Structure 1
Amino acid sequence: MPSQRFNLFEHVRTPPNPDHNPTLWEHRLRQRRPLSLNPFVKISSVPEGKSEVLDRAPAAQGGSPGLEDLQKLPSTDGSSGEELVKNKKNHDIQWGEQIPGWLNLFYDLAWTATFSSLTSNNQFREPWDSVSYVVFFIVAWWMWVSQALYNTDFYSNDWFHLLFIFLQLLVFGALAATTRGFDISNYILHSPGSSELHVYDIMTIELERYKAERLTKVSIRVITFVVALSRGLLLLQHLRVLIYAKLTSNQGRFPRRLLIVPIGLIISTGLMFGSFSITLNKAGTEPYGAKIKYALWGVAVLVEMIAHVIRAQLEINQGIRLRAHGSIASRLCDITTIIIGEGINAISGTFYAILQAPGFGAPTGTGVVCCAFIIFFLVYLYFEGVAPLGNIRRRAAWVMVHLPWLLSVILLLEGVKNQLLLSSFFSTSTHLMTKIMGTLESDMAEGAGIEQVDQIMRPLLLQAGLSWEDEFARLEALYSNSTTVNSTDPNAIDANFGVWLFRVLLSTTLTSYLTFMDNGTISEETYKVIDSYQHDYNFTLEIVEELISSSLINARYIMAMCGVTFITLASLNLIQSWPRDRFQWASIFSRYAMGGSMVLLLLLNLGEIQHWMVWGDEELAKRAAVFNWVDTTWVLPTIALAYGIQFIVDTALVYASVWYSRKAISQTSRAKELH
C-alpha cells in the first residue's frame, strides 16, 4: 500500500518537462489559446518549398491533393480511344489545425434542436403546415451552412471563435424554445387561434384567441430577432477576417474577393432586422405586413446564398494564404448522420405504442421491418456512392444540393413514422372491432346470459382501454331513455343495441387512435362530432376519416419525398466527381430513373372521389387509388422495395465493374509479357 501511494503522488512537485512529455506539451499549447489569432499568413513569409508542402499535406493525411498533376486516364472502353484529363483545383482540402471534433458535434447537435421541436410537434395536417416547416428549415439550414463555410475557411483556435460559437448556441436555444407551432399563414390567411382573419381588439377578443395572439407575437418577434442577430454575429466574424487580411497583405494586393460575403451579409442583416421591426408594429398583424416580413427573409437568404456560392469557388492566394482549411464535405456528412439519427429516434419512439396495443399482426410487423430496411438503404446509398466522399470538386453545388437532400430525408422519415402508426392503428382497430362484434353476435345467437357476456366482454374491452361496466351502464341508460319508440318492441331493442354497439366501436377506435397518435392531432371540430354522436343516432365512419386525415395527407406526398431522395442522391454523385466509366453513369442514371418512378406514383392521387370513406362498390371504383394503397398497407413496403432495388442495382454494378477492370488488367499484363 505505501508503494502505491508513493507512485501515485510521485510527480506532485515535478515541474513540467516538454522533452519527457511532448504529447502533454502539445495539448497544453492548443489549450493556451490567444484571444484572437490571424487566420492568414503571408506567402512571402512561407519558406521556399513550404508552399508546395502545404498543397501536398492533405495527400499525406489521406485527403485529396490541392492541385493534382495532369494525368491521363485511359478509358475502360479500349475501342473508343478516349482520354480524360484531370486538372481542376480541389477547393475542399484540409490542412493546418482543424476545429476540434467535439466542438463541431456540439454545434451540430445544438443546431438540430432548432427544428427538432418543430418536427416533433408538427402534425402536417394541412398543406400550410408543410410550407411553414420548409420555410423555417431553409432559414435554419442556411444559418448552419453559412457558419460552417466560415469555419471551413477562417476558423482559428482562439477565444474569439469559442465566444462566437457560444453566442450561436444561445441563438439556437432561443429558436428551439419558440418554434413550436410556427405557422407562416398567421395574419395572412387567418388570425392566431382562429380559422379566419379578425381585427385585434382587446375589448372584444376571446380568452383563447388572446392567448394564441400573445404566444404568436412573442414567438415571431424572438424568431425574427435571433435570426437577424445570427446574421450580425456572422458579419462581425467576416469583418474581423477583412481586418486581418488587410494587415497581413500590408503593402501587397488586398484580396477583394473577401469582400463578397461581407457585402452580402450587410444587405441580409439589414433586411433581417427590417423584418424584425415589422413585428414590433401593427403592420406585423396585418396581411400585407406579414407577407413583407417573410419576403424580406427570402431576399436576405437569397442574397447570402449568391454571395457564398460565388466566394466558395474562389481561392485566396493574392499575397496571403490561409493558415488552415477544413472540409465542408465532412461537415455535411456529419449533419446528415445526425438528421437521420433524429429520424431513427422518432420512428423508434413509436415502438412503445405498438407493443402495448392489442392485435399486433403481420401488417405491423412488416411495417417495422420495412422501416429498418428504408433507413439502412438510405444511409448506405448516401455514403456508398459512385465515388469516394473525400473528393469533392464542386463545393458550392455540393452544399446547395444538400438542402433538398436533407429536407426530403426529414420529411420522408417523418412520413415513414406516420405510415407505421397508421398501419398499426388499422391493425389494432380491425382486430378489436372483429372480436367485439364477433363475440356479441355469437353470444346473442346462443342466448348467453348477462354473466357469461360479462366474463367475455370485460377482458376484451380492457384491451381496448374501455370499462365494460361503464359501457353496459350506457346501454341500460339508452334503453330506459328511449321515448320515441316503444322500448318493448323487438325492433326498437335491436335499434338501441345497434346504436350502443356502434358507440362502443367508436370509443374503441378513438382509444386505439390515441394509443398511437398525439391527441393534439384531433381537431376541435372532430371532438365535437365524436361528442355529439355519443348523444344521438347519427353514426358515420367519416369520424374515423377525420382522425386519420393527417396520415392520409402524408400518404399522398410521401412518394414524392422518396423520389426526391433518389434524385438528389444522383445529383450529389454527379456533382461530387465526374463519372469515369459507364458503370458510374449507370448508377447515376438508375438513381434518376428510380426517383422519377417514385414521383410518378403521385398519379395515384387521381380519382373522381378524393376522400377515404366510401359506401358501396361503385364509389370504391371511383375513389383515388392512393386510398386503396393505404388500405392494403403497401406504402412502407413500396418504399422499402424501391431502396432495396437500388441497393441491388448499385451492388451489381460494382461487382460488374470490378470484373471488367480485372479483365482489362489481365489483358494489359499479357500484352506486356508478349512484348
Structure 2
Amino acid sequence: MMERDISCASFMEHGDANNWDSKMQIFDSPMTIAISPSSSQDALQPQTDSKNTQKSPGSSGSRDINEPKLDHCQTPFLRRPLNKVGGHWLEEKHEAPEWWSLFYDLAVVAVLTIFSTNHELNKPSAIPVFLSYYAIICWVWTSQVHYDIRYQALDGWHRAAKAVQIMTFVYMGAASGDWNPGLIRNDEAFLATKSNIRASEHRTANESFKAVLASFIISRVFLTCQYSLSAFIGSRAGRRITPHIYTIISLVISSILTIMAIVIPATSRVMSLTKVTLFYTGIGVEVFAVWFSLPSDPLGPIRTEAMAKRYGAFTLIIIGEGFISITRAFNLAISGFSITTGVTYPQVILAIMIMYLLFTFLFTRFDPSMKVDSRRALIWETLHFPMHFNLLLLLAALVVTDHYISTIEAITNGTDFSITEQRFVARYFDELYLQPDYETEISLLRNLSNTEVPGEDPTVLAYQYLGQIMFQVANNYGIELDDSMVENLQSLYTLNTTWSSNDTLRSNMQSEAFNLLRSIIQKPASASLSGILWLFPTAGIALIFCAVRAILWHRYHGISHSIVYGSWIVLGFILSCLGLLDIGSKDFDVFAETVKDELRGINPMYLLVHARIPLVVVMGFYVVAYLSSLIILRVMERRSHHISGRKQGRADISVS
C-alpha cells in the first residue's frame, strides 16, 4: 500500500491536538499521518514512524529533519530560556540568525557615513566634536550587542524589536548634522554678541544636541524593556537575573541623567558644561555596570564566537568608511581642476594598500571560534573603542593627504599656463559655479586692461574672480569651508572696484583685495595641512593595536607569534615617534614666489607633505611588518619541523 505524508505546509498536526510544551515554548515534534486510499479509518490513525518519533534533546536526527522545518513554519512570539541554573540563555538553534545583526549594522554604516561627511576630521579642532558623537553611537551599538549575543532569540518579539532599534539609530544619525556640544549655549544675550552666522551655529547645535539625546533616551528605554521582559521570563524559568537587574538600574539612571541634560537650559557656559557632563556621566554609569556585572555573569562564558563576529563586522565598517572617503576624494580629484592626475593616482593607490594591510593585520590569523574567558573577552572588547577611533583618525589623515595634494596641485596649476593648458583649464572652469562664467569674465578683464582709463579696476576684479575660483575649487575637492573663508570672500566682493586715478588710493585698494584673496586661498591649504599632523602617530598606534588585539584573543604556544607581535609593537612605536616631526612652525605662504620661500621655517612634516612622501613612509613600515611576520613564521615553522624530525630520528635509533 502506497502512503504519502502531509507536511507542515498542508495539514501537519503537532503531537496531540497541537500540543504546546509550556517549559520550552516550542511545538512538540509532529507525528506523521498516513493516508491510505483503501481505508478512511487508516487515515485517522497516527503512525509511529521511527524517523519522526520525538527524540531526546540530545538526539540529532529530530533536530536535523523536523526542527528547521518547524521553525520555518511557526515562530513563537516569545521564546523562553533554558531551564538551567547556569550556562547559555538559549539553545544555539533558537538564537537569532546572524542576518538580523548584519541588518542592524547597515544602520550603523549609514549613521557613521552621514556624520563623517558632515563633520570631517580635517583639522585638530574637529577631533573632540567627532569623538563626542562617536562615543554615543559606539555605546548604543555596544550595549545592544551585549543584549543580542546573550538573549536575542528567534521569535516574533525580537524580530519586531530590531525594527525599532534601527529606526532609533537612523533618527540619531539624521539629527547629528549640526552636532557640536561646544556650541550649545543659546541665551539671547550671549548670541547678540555674535555674528549672524555664529549665532545660527549655536542655535542649530543646541537643537541637534537635544534631538540626539532624545533618540538616545528612546534607545535606553526600549533596551530597558528588552532586559525587563528577558528578566521576567528568566525568573519564571528559574534563571539568575542579577546581571539584568544591574543593567536595568544603569539604564534607568542613564535615562534620568539624559533627561536632565535636555531639560536644563544652556543659558551660560557653566550650564552648558553641566548638560554635557550629565549626559556623558549617564553613559559612564552604563559602562561601569557592564564592567561590574559581566565578569561574574551566571550565564558562564559568553558565546565568544558571536562577540568576535560582531566586533569583526564593526571593524570592517570602520575600514569601509575609509574606502568611502578615499573613493570620494579620488572622484573629486580625477574630475576636478587638476591639469594632471599623475600625482593623485599614486596617492590613492598608496592609501588603498595601507587599508588593505590594516585588514590583513586584523583578520589574517583571527579565529572567532576561539573560546575566551569572560574577563579576557571584556578587555578585548574594550580595546576596540580606542582602536576604532584611532582607525578613523588614520583613515581621515589618509583622505586629507589626498585632499591637500590634489588641492595644492590644482591651485599651483592656476599659474604660468601654456596655451594648451589654458584651454584645458578653461574647460574645467565651466564646471565650476562661477558668476559670471569664465569666458565672460576673461573678456571683460581683457577689455578693461586695454582701456587707458577703465571704469573699473581690472586688478581688483581679477582678485575677486580668483577668490571665487579658489573657493569653488576647495569646495569641489571636499575641503570643509569655514565661516571666515566665506566672510573674506564676501568682504572681497564688497570692495569698491571703481578705477581711481590716484596711484596711492588705487594701490591701497589693490593691496586690500590681495590680502583678502591671500586669506581665502590660505584657509583651505592650512586646514588641509593641519589634518595631516596625526598621520604618523595614528598609523603607528594602529599597528600596536593590531598586535595587542591578537595577543588578547589568542593564546599562542611557542615563541614565533610573540616575536611577530613584538616586532609590530616596535615598528608601531617607531612610526608613532615620527609624529615629533610635527614640531615647528605651521605657517607657510601659498603666494611665495618660490617653493623655498613658501616652506621656509615650517615643520619637517610639512616638508614631507610637499615632497608627497608621507604615505610612502607609512606604507614602508606596514610592508616591513607584513613581510617580517611571514619570514619569522616560515623560519620558525621550518625550525620546528627540523627539531621534531631530529627527535623522531633519535627515537627510531633508540628503538632499533
TM, length-normalised to structure 2: 0.78
What's the CA shift for 1:334? 1.1
- Alignment counterpart, residue 433 of structure 1, candidates 415, 420, 425: 415
8 Å CA contact 2:464–2:492 kept in 1: the answer is no
1:215 paired residue number: 204
State yes or no: 1:293 paired with 2:275.
yes
User: Aligned partners of 2:289, 2:318: CA distance in 1, in Å?
Assistant: 26
1:173 paired residue number: 170
User: Aligned partners of 1:457, 1:469: CA distance in 2, in Å?
Assistant: 15
User: Aligned partners of 2:613, 2:9: CA distance in 1, in Å?
Assistant: 72
- Alignment counterpart, residue 375 of structure 1, candidates 337, 355, 363: 355
What's the CA shift for 1:429? 3.0
- Alignment counterpart, residue 248 of structure 2, candidates 262, 268, 273: 262
Q: Which moved more, 1:521-530 or 1:231-240?
A: 521-530
- Between the two proteins, the alignment pairs up a number of residues equal to 575
Q: Which moved more, 1:352-361 or 1:230-239?
A: 352-361
RMSD: 3.7
What's the CA shift for 1:516? 1.4
Amino acid at match of 1:34: P
1:514 paired residue number: 475
Q: Which moved more, 1:172-181 or 1:460-469?
A: 460-469
User: Aligned partners of 2:218, 2:353: CA distance in 1, in Å?
Assistant: 42
8 Å CA contact 2:79–2:155 kept in 1: the answer is yes
Q: Give deviations 1:364-396, integer Å, cap 9, x for gaps.
A: 1210210221121111111024x6343252110
- Alignment counterpart, residue 274 of structure 1, candidates 260, 263, 268: 260
State yes or no: 1:405 paired with 2:378.
no
- Alignment counterpart, residue 619 of structure 2, candidates 620, 632, 640: 640
User: Aligned partners of 2:254, 2:236: CA distance in 1, in Å?
Assistant: 27
2:577 paired residue number: 600
Q: From the superposition, tell whether residues 671 and 300 of structure 1 become closer, same or farther in structure 2 (CA, over 3 Å).
A: farther
Amino acid at match of 2:232: I
Q: From the superposition, tell whether residues 262 and 354 of structure 1 become closer, same or farther in structure 2 (CA, over 3 Å).
A: same
User: Aligned partners of 2:96, 2:566: CA distance in 1, in Å?
Assistant: 37
Amino acid at match of 2:274: I
1:26 paired residue number: 68
2:35 paired residue number: none
- Taking only the aligned residue pairs, the percentage that are identical comes to 17
1:81 paired residue number: none
- Alignment counterpart, residue 631 of structure 1, candidates 575, 587, 610: 610
State yes or no: 1:525 paired with 2:487.
yes
Q: From the superposition, tell whether residues 581 and 613 of structure 1 become closer, same or farther in structure 2 (CA, over 3 Å).
A: farther
User: Aligned partners of 1:650, 1:221: CA distance in 2, in Å?
Assistant: 49
Secondary structure at the aligned position of 2:153 is classed as: coil
1:65 paired residue number: none
Q: Give deviations 1:603-653, integer Å, cap 9, x for gaps.
A: 122124544558585784422122212211222222222222221122222
Amino acid at match of 1:373: M
Amino acid at match of 1:477: L
1:360 paired residue number: 340
Secondary structure at the aligned position of 2:83 is classed as: strand
What's the CA shift for 1:238? 1.8
Q: Give deviations 1:502-542, integer Å, cap 9, x for gaps.
A: 77765654444333125745732342365468954222544
1:336 paired residue number: 315
Amino acid at match of 1:547: P
User: Aligned partners of 2:622, 2:396: CA distance in 1, in Å?
Assistant: 17
Q: From the superposition, tell whether residues 326 and 381 of structure 1 become closer, same or farther in structure 2 (CA, over 3 Å).
A: closer
Q: Give deviations 1:551-608, integer Å, cap 9, x for gaps.
A: 1111112222222211211221121124432221122222222222222122122124
Q: From the superposition, tell whether residues 670 and 619 of structure 1 become closer, same or farther in structure 2 (CA, over 3 Å).
A: same
Q: From the superposition, tell whether residues 222 and 415 of structure 1 become closer, same or farther in structure 2 (CA, over 3 Å).
A: same
8 Å CA contact 1:124–1:554 kept in 2: the answer is yes
What's the CA shift for 1:161? 1.7
What's the CA shift for 1:103? 0.9
TM, length-normalised to structure 1: 0.76
Structure with greater contact order relative to length (CA < 8 Å, sep ≥ 6): 1
Secondary structure at the aligned position of 2:510 is classed as: coil
2:77 paired residue number: 35
8 Å CA contact 1:542–1:613 kept in 2: the answer is no
1:80 paired residue number: none
2:329 paired residue number: 350
1:73 paired residue number: none
Amino acid at match of 1:374: I
What's the CA shift for 1:40? 3.4
Amino acid at match of 1:222: A
8 Å CA contact 1:346–1:417 kept in 2: the answer is yes
- Alignment counterpart, residue 560 of structure 2, candidates 580, 583, 604: 583
- Alignment counterpart, residue 510 of structure 2, candidates 506, 519, 537: 537
What's the CA shift for 1:117? 1.2
8 Å CA contact 2:537–2:575 kept in 1: the answer is yes
User: Aligned partners of 1:356, 1:317: CA distance in 2, in Å?
Assistant: 56
1:564 paired residue number: 541
8 Å CA contact 1:526–1:547 kept in 2: the answer is no
Q: Give deviations 1:252-303, integer Å, cap 9, x for gaps.
A: xx4635433233223222222222222xxxx224322221121122222222
1:160 paired residue number: 157
User: Aligned partners of 1:246, 1:415: CA distance in 2, in Å?
Assistant: 51
What's the CA shift for 1:31? 5.6
8 Å CA contact 1:113–1:172 kept in 2: the answer is no
8 Å CA contact 2:479–2:524 kept in 1: the answer is no
What's the CA shift for 1:178? 0.7
Amino acid at match of 1:559: F
8 Å CA contact 1:370–1:640 kept in 2: the answer is yes
User: Aligned partners of 1:362, 1:462: CA distance in 2, in Å?
Assistant: 19
State yes or no: 1:552 paired with 2:529.
yes
1:461 paired residue number: 426
Q: Which moved more, 1:365-374 or 1:573-582?
A: 573-582
What's the CA shift for 1:359? 2.1
User: Aligned partners of 2:249, 2:204: CA distance in 1, in Å?
Assistant: 35
Q: From the superposition, tell whether residues 205 and 650 of structure 1 become closer, same or farther in structure 2 (CA, over 3 Å).
A: closer
User: Aligned partners of 2:586, 2:305: CA distance in 1, in Å?
Assistant: 55
1:388 paired residue number: 367
Q: Give deviations 1:76-121, integer Å, cap 9, x for gaps.
A: xxxxxxxxxxxxxxx9x99443321221111011123233211011
Amino acid at match of 1:151: D
What's the CA shift for 1:200? 5.1
